[in-house]
Every structure is written in structure tokens, then in C-alpha cells.
Amino acid sequence: GDSVTQMEGPVTLSEEACLTINCTYTATGYPSLFWYVQYPGEGLQLLLKATKADDKGSNKGFEATYRKETTSFHLEKGSVQVSDSAVYFCALSRDDKIIFGKGTRLHILP
Amino acid sequence: DTEVTQTPKHLVMGMTNKKSLKCEQHMGHRAMYWYKQKAKKPPELMFVYSYEKLSINESVPSRFSPECPNSSLLNLHLHALQPEDSALYLCASSPYGGARTGELFFGEGSRLTVL
């Protein structure tokens, strides 16, 4: 079945460091891909999305490109801030379902 | 501020109690969802309502009973729960009657503790 695999955390970085969180997927057809973020004590928020191959989603300085050839959707940010500390979930949509990866906890140190 | 409102934020109940979780959205979305999230785990889909009809039930035990009285409201009725049902219960809505766009709008969740 469809699935999402993302790198294990926690990831700890210093402020202004570069971030990459890897995500790969397994799916039949052409799912839409997403990154959701969950700040402490809150529900999930859609961070960015891409609906077809080679699309780049971007928001709040984060970017991810839908790579069909490598079945990947890695999340990147050039300079992280303490406020980016959260759990990040890679996800794909299939019909009426959203399938989430296990999540990657990110800690940014001042 | 989230536009999906969940009440209560915290609930403690015994195994013989009957309680309900409530979710409300006024964005005109036609699909609503219940997810269960255990600590340090991703959300797990429980139920999907599409145009006020139950479209997905992920083999959830009958002690969880969803209800969608209208397009803005979603309830989750709880009865005879087990301690392992303790979790964060997240409600979400989607504007397109399905999750094809993946744009789910989540509430902040109801944290349930079963004693």
C-alpha cells in the first residue's frame, strides 16, 4: 500500500543553520505530497504542498520539490530559527485519505 | 488562530463513563475527519465524513461512535473506553469533500485520559 518514510529524529540544529528533512514515498499513480508542522500543544498545520512532478512548494522560507524519479519530497530551509522548533510530518493524499509519515522532531538552539 | 474548534481541550473519564468530543467549523468545508494521535506518533485516521455521510471507518472499535449532525459539526461519542484509548483526538476539515488536495485544517485537539 501507499506509505511515507521520513528521517528519524530528533534533529538538533543551531539557529541560522541549514535544514534538510528527508522524505520518500511509495504510491501507485501520482499522489499529492505535503509537509505538515505541529508546534507544541497544537494541532497540525499545512506548511506546503505539491500536486505534480517537479512542482515546488514553499512557505515561510521552507521549500520542497516533488521528485518523481526518486520518489522524494525533502523539506529544506536555508536558515532556521528557534521558532521553527516543532514536529514535521511528510504526507501524501490518496482518495479521501491523508497518509502521514512518522514525523521528525526538530530542535533549534539559540 | 485555528478555524476548527474542538471542545473540550482536556477530558478525563473512567472506563464506564459516556462522554462526547465536539468539533465545529464555519469555513463551509464538506469533509470532516477524526484522527487519533498517541505521543510521538503520527495522526491515525479514524473516520471521514463527506457531505455529512460517513465515507471511511478505519475499523475503529464500536466504543467510538461518530456523528455528523450537520455540515459544520462533528461529534465523537465515547463509551466504555480503555486506558490505551488515552490520546490526543484531532478533528480536521477539508474544503473539497475529500482529501485529494490534502489541505486539511486541524483543530488543536482534545486530550483524552482514560482512567
Residues of B contacting chain A (CB within 8 angstroms): 2, 4, 31, 40-43, 45, 48, 50, 55-56, 90, 92, 98-109
Check pLDDT > 70 for residue B85: yes
Q: Please state the rounded mean pLDDT for residues B31-37.
A: 94
Contact between A96 and B99 using a beta-carbon 8 Å cutoff: yes
pLDDT digits (tens, 9 = 90+) for A47-101: 999 989 999 999 999 999 999 999 999 999 999 999 999 999 999 987 777 889 9
Q: What are residue A87's phi and psi, to 5 degrees?
A: -105, 135
Bridge partners, residue A77, by sequence:
A19, A62
Contact between B101 and A93 using a beta-carbon 8 Å cutoff: yes
Contact between B108 and A41 using a beta-carbon 8 Å cutoff: yes
Amino acid present at A52: K
Give the H/E segment covering residue A65: strand A62-65
Q: Are A105 and A12 in contact (CB under 8 A)?
A: no
Q: Hey, what's the cell of A77? A: 530551509
3-class secondary structure, B32: strand
CA dihedral B104→B105→B110→B112, nearest 10 degrees, is 10
pLDDT at residue number A29: 81
Q: Distance from CA of residue A44 to its chain's centroid?
A: 12
CB atoms within 10 A of CB B73: 14
Q: Hey, what's the cell of B13? A: 473519564
pLDDT at residue number B97: 55
Q: Hey, what's the cell of B45? A: 485516521
- In this complex, which of B31, B42, B99 lies closest to A102 when CB atoms are compared? B42
> Is B110 exposed, middle or buried (CB count within 10 Å of its CB: 0-12, 13-18, 19+)?
buried
d(CA B55, CA A41): 29
d(CA A89, CA B50): 24
pLDDT at residue number A16: 96
Amino acid present at B110: S
Mean pLDDT for all residues in chain B: 90
Task: Tell whether the torsion through CA atoms of B112, A96, A50 and A30 is positive or negative.
Answer: positive
